[in-house]
Structure 1
Amino acid sequence: MEFIIDTVDLKEIEEAVEYLPISGVTSNPSIVKATSPENFFDHMRKIREMIGMENSLHIQVTGLDCETMVKE
């Protein structure tokens, strides 16, 4: 079984990493929008630092074509 936390809230992730053997973080556009990170890419880098390179980080995009998805 794997524990994947569905949030981009840094405090929630920090707590999850402390108490659970999480294997990753996942999220979607509405969760990211609700969190309103000041700088999206810096925020994702902070999450990566918190969970480590060996765990997964999945952020859903809204684009319907390849070019838009890559831009997002």
Structure 2
Amino acid sequence: MPLVDVTLTEGRDPAQVRALIHALHAAVHDTVGARPEHIRVIVREVPRTHWATGDVTVAEMHTTATKEQK
């Protein structure tokens, strides 16, 4: 029973998340031949303030990038 577990930052609309689930499900089915009813996909959304790279949160990166564009 394949399990695909994806973690993303929050902010995508439900249609985007649904499209991702569909594409992942299809990829698993096509590549490993698992029965569709046995494929599990979990999408976890994390607040941008709770995800950091190099001690800078995604929210801080976005704020900095926005200021630099002005």
TM-score tier (shorter): 0.3 to 0.5
Query: Please, what TM-score do these two structures have when normalized by structure 1?
Result: 0.34
Bigger RCO (CA 8 Å, 6+ sep): 2
Query: Please, what TM-score do these two structures have when normalized by structure 2?
Result: 0.35
- From the two aligned structures, give the one with the greater helix fraction: 2
| Structure number with bigger Rg | 2
- From the two aligned structures, give the one with the greater strand fraction: 2
